[in-house]
Structure 1
Amino acid sequence: MAPSSLTVGYVPGVTPAKWARIWAERHPDVPLRLSAVDAADAADAVRTGSVDVALLRPPADASGLAVIPLYEETTVVVVPADHVLTAVDTVTSADLHGEPVLIPLDDVVAWPAAPGVPAEHRPETTRDATELVAAGVGVLVVPQSLARLHHRKDLTYRPIAEAPGCPVALAFPEGPPPVLVEEFIGIVRGRTPGSSRGRAEPPPKRTAREKTLAKQAARAAAGKVARKPGPAKRGRR
């Protein structure tokens, strides 16, 4: 029996509202439930079945998961609104040299050689780190969506030119996806309603007789073109 609903997990910063709206338009009788999950717990939520599919930042351990890359976010640095780095539109790694950088325990930026000086204290969450940036303790490197999510009037952010992007992906259990998961994949990938499952039916094969008749029709049409008569001659009076 097919499931009667679909549960979609999503990590902070990812906004599934658009896809949920399209789902409601195409499948009004099948509820789609959105479930906010922490970035560190998203992969396990898919593995244990807490959610049917998740919009997450790809985990280092993707065992048991099928992962479809969706897009990459710009990596930015969050600074106080009066910080010297606000003088430019885009900062470089060199601009961060010597800056104390806060690295929260839920950090999602994979940048092994990140510039700056890691702060001794690691905040519990990105939200906590944002509070410390406002207090002047250091700066914070995050995906742009998280900078927007935790926005404060006394803070701003700037993109970092050489920073790696922060990917976002769709994950579901390994193996052929269930029908509803396949439908959601189609929506996220922008497929039209008629092709949302991405499995167009192949055209039916023609019989030998149909092929022969088609060839004869093609030859007859070609012969008519070759024998096309010229201007009609005037008859004798």
Structure 2
Amino acid sequence: MTGSEASPSFRLAYVPGVTPTKWVRIWNERLPDVPLTLVGVAADEAFDMLRGGDADAGFVRLPVDRTDLSAIPLYTETTVVVVPKDHLVAAVDEVSTDDLADDIVLHPLDDTLDWEHPPGRPAIERPATTADAVELVAAGVGLLVVPQSLARLHHRKDLTYRPVSDAPQSRVALSWPQDETTDLVEQFIGIVRGRTVNSTRGRPPAEAQPKTRTKPKAQSQDKGGARRKPAAGTSSGRGPRTGSGGAKGAKRGRPRRKS
């Protein structure tokens, strides 16, 4: 690992739609002496923030330029179309891009989907942000196709959304500068990947516990631990008339009757 190992705090950037609450909670439990600061950032500005050192790591949307940034893909989002509640799309469970061909579909400048050909009919102007596009949907100007997390983020009571089966999908990743993979970054990677507190990267494996010895049988043994066989025709040390320890194959005699 490189970089400073004595950072007084950890700065975590996140793009709209990502909810880092669970990971922040685990961080606070494991590293209570290292405050974590959340920094919200637009999707198209997140990489410059990481490169400029304004955040130690960040939740971003792929693709990531791997020239100077590292990234761990985390999950892929469902793509949905946001529509007014009285729109025909609201009556079905799922649609395709062909089902949107006759509608105006807004394509904001901060769109996070990698469209080759956006569906529907284009609007006269592209909205500046996804939030602006949602307001236009509510005004009846058109529809909006976005990752589900953004539809939830900009939820309105007069709008709903439905999955789009064949639309591109957005993938969320954890990213950080390659040259700044500090101990704290490694700690956060472990949290995101679900490592327990005792299984973080670089921790030596626990020593194997000694096996419990089984209780030896009540047999005479020599120094090497092997069972010692009595010589033929000799006693094993028990009473001469017990019959035990005799030569292999010898018959057991009948005990004498006492007078």
TM-score, normalised to structure 1, is 0.83
CA-atom RMSD, angstroms? 2.2
Q: What letter is aligned with 2:12?
A: V
Whether 1:81 aligns to 2:85 is yes
Offset at residue 110 of structure 1 (A): 1.0
Q: Which residue of 1 aligns with 2:11?
A: 7
Mark the runs of 5 or more structure 2 residues left unpaired by the alignment.
208-223, 228-243, 246-250
Residue 45 in 1 paired to residue 49 in 2? yes
Residue in structure 2 matched with residue 131 of structure 1 by the alignment = 135
Counterpart AA for 1:180: L
- Of the candidates 201, 204, 220, which is equivalent to residue 201 of structure 1? 204
For 2:67 and 2:108, locate their aligned partners in 1 and report how far apart those are by CA, in whole Å: 25
CA distance in 2 between counterparts of 1:235 and 1:2 reads 82
For the 8 Å contact 2:64–2:71, the answer to whether it is kept is: no
8 Å contact 2:16–2:42 — kept in the other structure? yes
Distance (whole Å) between structure 1 residues aligned to residue 131 and residue 29 of structure 2 = 34
Assess, with a 3 A threshold, how the Cα gap between structure 1 residues 121 and 62 changes in structure 2: closer, same or farther.
farther
| Partner AA of 2:154 in structure 1 | H
Q: How far did residue 120 of structure 1 move? A: 2.1
Q: CA deviation at 1:63?
A: 3.4
Q: In structure 1, give the amino acid aligned to 2:202.
A: R
How far apart, CA to CA, are the structure 2 residues paired with 1:81 and 1:62? Answer: 42
Give the distance between the partners of 2:100 and 2:158, measured in 1 at CA. 20
Residue 137 of structure 1 aligns with an amino acid whose one-letter code is V
**Greater Rg over alpha carbons, structure:** 2
For 1:112, give the aligned amino acid: E
Other-structure match for 2:69: 65
Percent identical: 55
Instruction: Give the aligned residue type for 2:30.
Output: R
**Amino acid of the structure 2 residue aligned with 1:153:** K
Q: Alpha-carbon deviation of 1:61?
A: 4.0
Q: Which residue of 2 aligns with 1:22?
A: 26
**1:127 counterpart SS class:** helix
**1:144 Cα shift?**
0.2
CA distance in 2, matches of 1:148, 1:122: 21
Mark the runs of 5 or more structure 1 residues left unpaired by the alignment: 205-219, 225-231
- The question of 1:108 aligning with 2:112 is answered yes
Letter in 1 for 2:193: R
The CA deviation at 1:164 is: 2.2
Q: Any conservation in 2 of the 1:43–1:62 contact (CA below 8 Å)?
A: no
CA deviations 1:4-33 (Å, max 9, x no partner) are 110000000000010000000001111111
How far did 1:175 drift?
3.6
Kindly indicate whether residue 170 of structure 2 is the aligned counterpart of residue 166 of structure 1.
yes
Distance 2:206 2:132 in 1: 58
Query: In structure 2, what is the Cα distance between the partners aligned to 1:113 and 1:135?
Result: 25
Larger helix fraction of residues = 1
The TM-score, its normalising length taken from structure 2, stands at 0.77
1:3 & 1:103 partners in 2: Cα distance? Answer: 41
C-alpha distance in structure 2 between counterparts of 1:112 and 1:195, whole Å: 43
1:117 alignment partner AA? R
TM-superposed CA distance for 1:159, in Å, is: 0.5
Q: Deviations over 1:67-99 (max 9, x none)?
A: 111100001000011100011111112211121
The one-letter code sitting in structure 1 at the alignment partner of 2:52 is T
Q: Which amino acid is the alignment partner of residue 23 of structure 2? A: W
